[in-house]
Chains A and B, each alone.
Chain A
C-alpha cells in the first residue's frame, strides 16, 4: 500500500464522502473545471458532474452564505476558500449567520468550510495566515486543524458527517510534504479529541498543524540530551480537548504551548487558562508560549523565518523549563 500525501488524504476524504452520500457537494472558486488552486478537487467534476462541483464567482460572502442556504435544504456542502486568508471576507456570514443558526432559530447547518492556511511558503501577508482563532472565539462553530494525512482524512470525514458548521484549516506547507500509509477501510477521527503524538516524561509540547513537525525535530535533538518531550497534537481547536491537556500536564508537570498563529490571543493563552483551572497543582514550572511574532506574516524568506517559531526556539525553551 502506497503512502499518500496530506493533500491526497483530504481529496480522498471528500471524494469518498461524495460517493457515499449524494447530499455532499463542493463549491468554491476554480474548484470545478480547474480542480482548485491546490488541486484538492481535481477530477471531481468528471466523476460527480457539474451540479455537485460548483464554480463560484470570487465572492467569499456568497460562498459561505450559499453553502449555508443549501444546508438548510438538507444538503452537506463542502465549500473551499482558495486561501484561508480570504475567510475574513466572509467573517460576518460565518459568525453571524452560520454560528448562531441552530441556537437562534433551530436551523442546523451541516456544512464544511475548508481551505489552506499557514505559512512557510513565502506566500506573503495575504496567503499565509492562521486565522483560526477568530472562529475558536465563536460559539456554534467547530474548528479543526490537522497535522497528519491520517488525521486530515479521518477528521474531514467527521466534519462532513457533522450536523454543525465546521471550519477545516488545512496547512498548505504540509500538502505535499508529509506522507503516510492510510487505513484501507472507511475510518473517521472524532472531532474534539487530541492525540499523543509522542510519549515523553519531562515536558509536554502542546501544538497543532505544521508546528507538530517543529516540535518533533526539537524532540529528536533533545532526546540526545535525555530530555524526553511529550508531544500533544490538538487536531481540533474547538471544542478543545480539556481532558488531554489536563492529563499531559499531570504527567510531565511542565508545559510548552507551540503554535504558528501569532502570540496575543493565540490558543496558548486559552490552554494556559485551562491548565490553571484543571491542573494548577501539577505544575512544576510556568507555562511557556512559543508563537509567531505579533506582526503580519512577512513575504521574504529571512523575514518569514524570523516570524515563525523555529526548532531552536523550542529546544531553548525546553531546556529552560526542564531546569526550572
Chain B
C-alpha cells in the first residue's frame, strides 16, 4: 500500500499514526511570503478573504414559475490563495494530498452509487475539500472532531481509511458501525477521538462541549472541532451547545461551513444576518470569516482557534464561505442553483487553486502533481476493492450491543480528575433550606 503521508516534516514526532499532529507540528514556512491585509466586515469581524463574491441570490416569480436568480457579477477573477502563516511546505503538500484523497474517495463512492452498490443516499462534499481537510489537519491527536455528513475528508485526516466510508455506504458488516448506521455516521471515542454524527443538526456541538469539560476535569485543555452548516446553525442545539462552551470557556472550535444551500434553501431564507460569524459577537467569542476554498486560510484560522483552545481561552467561530457543488444527496440534481453561481464556484475549485499555489511557490511541478493524483488513484482502487469484498452483517447483530457490559471498566481518557478547590474533610449535613415545592 502506498504511504499515507509524508513523515518529512522536520519537527513532526516520530510516530506511525495515520494522521499527523498538525497543529503542534506547525513551524516556520519554508518561504516567508507577504500577507495581504485582513479586512473587517461591518460588525468588525476579521475577514481573511481576498475577494467577496459581488453577487447574491434573490427569489423570483416569473413566467408562472418560482426560481432563484443571481443579482450582481459572477465573472470576477479568481484570486490566488492567501499564503499561510504557519504551514511548512511539507504540511502543505500533505494537505494537498488529503484533498485529493477526499475527492477521489467521493468519485469512487459516486461510481459505486451508480453501480447500485451504495445502500440509501450518498452525500458528497465536492468543492468543500479544503475546509474539511485543512481544518481537521489543525487538530492534535488528543483533540476531538465532530464531523457532519459531508466531512469524510476530515475523517481521513483524523486517521480513517477511505474504505471505512465506502463500507459504511455499502452497509457492510465490517464497517465502523457494523452496518448499523450509514454514511459518515461513524466515530471512535478511544483512539481517533471522532464523534459519530447523528442526522439531527447541531447536536455534536453540545457533546463536544462536554468532551472539553471532561478533559478539563482531567487537567487538560483540548480543542474540539465541530462542523455546522449554514442550515444546521439555525437549530436550537447549536445555540445551547455553543453557548455552554462560550460560558465555560471550553475549547470548542465551531467551523461554520457556509456552503450556501441547506438542501434546497438558499442562505437568504435561512438567516437575516449578513455573515454567520457575526453571531460570535452574541456568544462573546472571537469570530473570523475565511474563504472555504482556500486551504491556507482555513488552516491558519483553525490553527489559531485550536491554539486558543489549548491555552484554555475558550471557544471560537470560523465561518468558511464556500459552495456545495453537488445536490444535497445523489438524487438531487440541485437544479435550484442558478448556473452562473455554479460556474463562479467551479472556477474556485479548492484543489485547482491549491495547485496554482504550489506552482507559484515552486513547491511542486505539474508532473509531480500528476504523480500524486496517480498514486492516490492506485490507493483508492485498493481501498475500493477491499471495501467491496467485505461481507454484509449477520442478522443476529441487529439487536446486540444495545447496552454496554457492566463488568467492563471504562477508563478515563486523560487521567485522574484534578480539582483545584475542595474541602475533603467536609461532611454532609442535612439540608434544612426550603425546597421549590412543599
Contact = CB atoms under 8 A, between A and B. Distances in A.
Given A59-B243, A163-B405, A35 B431 contact: yes
B241 A104 contact: no
Interface stretch (B3-11, B126-134, B350-358, B415-423): B415-423
A42 B431 contact: yes
Given A75-B214, A97-B207, A105 B426 contact: no
Contacts of A108: 404, 410
Interface in B204-224: 205-218
Interface in B353-383: none
Nearest to B187: A105
A269 interface: no
Contact of A162 (B185, B406, B423, B426): B406
Contact of B422 (A49, A70, A71): A49
Interface string A116-128: 0000011100010
A104 B180 contact: yes
Contacts of B196: 104-105, 107
A8 B432 CA distance: 10
Contacts of A67: 210
B417 A104 contact: no
Given A22-B417, A49-B420, A39 B209 contact: no
B16 interface: no
Given A11-B431, A73-B214, A48 B419 contact: yes
B376 to A, nearest CB: 27
A77 to B, nearest CB: 8
Contact of B213 (A40, A70, A176): A70
Given A93-B203, A163-B404, A164-B403, A110 B410 contact: yes
B281 to A, nearest CB: 18
A46 interface: yes
A91 to B, nearest CB: 11
A163 B188 CA distance: 17
A161 B410 CA distance: 11
A7 B435 contact: yes
B413 A106 contact: no
B102 interface: no
B137 to A, nearest CB: 23
A38 B436 contact: yes
Interface string A18-39: 0000110100000000010111
A43 B402 CA distance: 37
A160 to B, nearest CB: 12
Contact of B435 (A39, A51, A69, A70): A39
Contacts of B181: 104-105
A72 interface: yes
A111 B74 CA distance: 52
B72 interface: no
A108 B406 CA distance: 10
B206 A65 contact: yes
Interface in A40-85: 40, 42-43, 46-52, 54, 56-57, 59-62, 64-75, 77, 82
A23 B421 contact: no
B210 A65 contact: yes
A127 B435 CA distance: 13
Given A51-B420, A106-B401, A69 B438 contact: no
Contacts, number: 217
Size class of A's contact patch? 35 or more
Contacts of B240: 57, 59-62
A71 B214 contact: yes
A114 interface: no
Contact of B210 (A15, A23, A70, A161): A70
A12 interface: yes
B433 A42 contact: yes
Contacts of A38: 435-437
Interface in B383-438: 400-406, 408, 410-414, 416-424, 426, 428-431, 433-438
Give the interface centre of B195, B210, B248, B430 by most chain A CB atoms within 10 Å. Answer: B210
B431 A48 contact: no
Contact of B211 (A57, A73, A103, A139): A73
Contacts of A52: 217, 417, 419, 422
Interface in A178-201: none
A69 B417 contact: no
Nearest to A40: B431
A172 interface: yes
Contact of B186 (A40, A49, A105, A123): A105
A140 interface: yes
Given A97-B198, A102-B402, A66 B203 contact: no
B46 interface: no
Contacts of A102: 401-404
Given A73-B211, A102-B404, A162-B406, 5 more contacts: A62-B240, A65-B206, A69-B206, A69-B209, A72-B210
- Please provide the 4 A-B residue pairs with the shortest distance between their CB atoms, ordered closest to farther: A69-B210, A65-B206, A73-B214, A66-B210
27 contacts: A15-B428, A22-B416, A35-B431, A39-B435, A43-B429, A51-B420, A57-B247, A59-B206, A61-B203, A61-B236, A61-B237, A64-B206, A66-B209, A69-B208, A69-B210, A70-B214, A70-B217, A72-B195, A72-B210, A73-B218, A93-B203, A102-B401, A103-B401, A107-B196, A121-B438, A162-B406, A172-B435
